[in-house]
Amino acid sequence: MLDRSGVAEMLEQAISSSGPARQLSPRAVLLGILLSIATSKVAHLSAAYRCLCDLPVIDQVRLGVVRHTRDGLKTASYRQFEHSFTVMMAPIDPSPVPSFRGVAPTKRAGHLAKRRAGVETGTKEAMLVELIDALLEASVPEARRGRRCLAVDWTDHESWARPKDKLSQEISADPDAAWGHAKRNAPGAKDGVFWGYYAQVAVIAPEEGAKPDPELICRVVVKSASIEPADEMSGLLERMAASGAGPSDVLADCGYSFKTGFSRRLRSIGAEPVMDLHPFDRGPKGTFEGAVCANGSLYCPCVPDRLLALGPLVRGAPAEVVAAHDCSCGELERYRFAPLSRADEEGYERVMCPAAAGKLRCPLVEASLSLSFAHPSVTDPPVTPPRCCRQRSITVPPNVNDKTRQKHPYPSPVHRRSYARRTAAERAYARLADPAGEGVRRGWCRLFGTAKNTLMYSLAAVVHNLRLLESRERQDLAEARRSTPAASRPRRRRRRRHEQQQPPAAPAPDDSPTVPG
């Protein structure tokens, strides 16, 4: 997988030739970390070094861990492994603006130094992103690359360092970490704050109505908890679309949809958002040309208020509650403006009046009165009809329902079934944190800085993908073995001895008297 990604060659070209010769290459260092995550469940450099030393001697010689000298075989020391890791991280770890010591620089010299440092930081960040994307794409099979459905989510990733002390004015050992809020959904767990990063993943989810496949992680973003996660994820998806691997559907929770502009940025790259709405964004939010704006759609001005107040189903709702909710959603759909065309390049789309589309009966549309009474009827039309009632269709600009517009009407049964695929991201986090899996937790990685934590988290995602693919391969082999009929064995016939093969019977004793001669 490392050879297929080309990451080792990228790092070798970026590392300068100055300095002492290195015995260990970036390929050997990355392989040691992957082995450590897969076997020891930690991302420590000491554990990675031990994993390399535990390999067979022929593999150690091939990777450069052991080399031939005049005195025999010489194994690389841990200091050499740590130095090789530091040299490998130098081209992809953004450094802060250098501080001048001793003589104070002039204003122009300080400005040029900051500008040069900013350009270098941007270059290193771009190389880190390219390296991480190449690693994760190499762990995904060829058949699952390209345009695909993605489930996105973020979680807390605590730093091994402790926060700075306000009393003693001590600076934290991890300057990139920050305070963040962690929401616990587990029973009995309480929400709280943490010191560290927000780790985000984009997991490949199944398409609507498709067969479930291994839920592989194709992108990872680890940023300081002080940075807005939704903006980082939007930028990541835009980079994917620019590379030709843009997502088809994006499944996100209300933490993303509550951010203004997230849905618009997804639609601008050709992706269809399927989101849960924040409680503050649900229900009617004004009007446009007389039509009611609610939950990302336009509805007839005479829609009942009880239908606009519909919300998502609670978890574990009984069957009768689900049936009643679906019936109300079907009635609400009768009042929704029907789309006539997809949005154009500027985001404008055309929608039709529900009465003109034959979805309900309205006195203002005479043709709709010929419909059966099974359709809802508008009994009290407005005295002064607005523009949406005077015209057969209207044009909706992109700023209308810009925050809540999505693929399926909310909270319809179609939206509920489509949004249920977002649990792929939750399961990915559960596998990463499981001690039987990768065991990602506080202390799992004891390195500081955004670049190092991003690399380690991405390598854990690579191990997660390889583990899932191996499990699926074993399942396919077992299923093929069960479906293949067993070869029939030849029936063993019982051998019977014939009379001629039986031994002759012993002669009967002769009782006749003996005649003397």
- What span, in angstroms and rounded, lies between the C-alpha atoms of 203 and 351? 33
pLDDT, residue 110, reads 45
pLDDT band, very low/low/confident/very high, at 168 (cuts 50, 70, 90): low
Rounded to 5 degrees, what are φ and ψ at 368?
-75, -20
Strand-pair category, 178-182 with 192-205: antiparallel
Q: Which residues pair with 393 in a beta bridge?
A: 352
Query: Do residues 117 and 97 touch, judged by C-beta distance below 8 A?
Result: yes
pLDDT, residue 361, reads 93
Within its chain, how far is the Cα of 61 from the centroid? Answer: 37
Tell me whether residue 492 is exposed, middle or buried, using C-beta atoms within 10 angstroms of its C-beta: 0 to 12, 13 to 18, 19 or more.
exposed
Query: Do residues 421 and 415 touch, judged by C-beta distance below 8 A?
Result: no
pLDDT band, very low/low/confident/very high, at 507 (cuts 50, 70, 90): low
Place of tokens 């649900």: 282
Mean pLDDT, the chain, rounded, equals 86
- What span, in angstroms and rounded, lies between the C-alpha atoms of 406 and 252? 11
pLDDT, residue 103, reads 40
pLDDT, residue 106, reads 47
The DSSP secondary-structure symbol of 143 reads G
**Maximum average pLDDT range among 7-16, 31-40, 498-507:** 31-40
Task: Report the pLDDT averaged over residues 324-331.
Answer: 94
Q: Which of 503 and 398 is assigned the larger pLDDT? A: 398
Closest CA to 220 of 47, 473, 432: 432
Three-state secondary-structure class, residue 366: helix
**What tens digit of pLDDT does each residue of 80-94 get?**
999 999 999 988 988
- What span, in angstroms and rounded, lies between the C-alpha atoms of 202 and 198? 13
Model pTM?
0.85
Report the run of H or E that residue 86 belongs to, with start and end. helix 78-89
The answer on pLDDT for 517 being more than 80 is no
Within its chain, how far is the Cα of 371 from the centroid? Answer: 47
- Evaluated on CA atoms 398, 404, 408, 412, the torsion sign reads negative
Query: Do residues 137 and 148 touch, judged by C-beta distance below 8 A?
Result: no
The answer on pLDDT for 485 being more than 90 is no
Count CB neighbours of 441 within 10 A. Answer: 14
**What tens digit of pLDDT does each residue of 260-312 get?**
889 999 999 989 999 999 999 999 999 999 999 999 999 999 999 999 999 99
Mean pLDDT check: name the lowest of 224-228, 279-283, 497-501.
Answer: 497-501
Query: Do residues 299 and 412 touch, judged by C-beta distance below 8 A?
Result: no
Q: What is the CA radius of gyration of the chain?
A: 34
Share of the chain above pLDDT 70, in %: 85
pLDDT, residue 111, reads 43
- What span, in angstroms and rounded, lies between the C-alpha atoms of 198 and 152? 13
Closest CA to 456 of 480, 485, 432, 472: 432
**What tens digit of pLDDT does each residue of 44-70 get?**
999 999 999 999 999 999 999 998 888
**What tens digit of pLDDT does each residue of 372-403 get?**
998 999 988 888 899 999 999 999 999 999 99
Share of the chain above pLDDT 90, in %: 59
**What tens digit of pLDDT does each residue of 233-249 get?**
999 999 999 988 889 99
Closest CA to 269 of 260, 261, 257: 261
pLDDT, residue 17, reads 57
The answer on pLDDT for 497 being more than 80 is no
Q: Is the peptide bond before 20 cis (omega within 30 degrees of 0)?
A: no
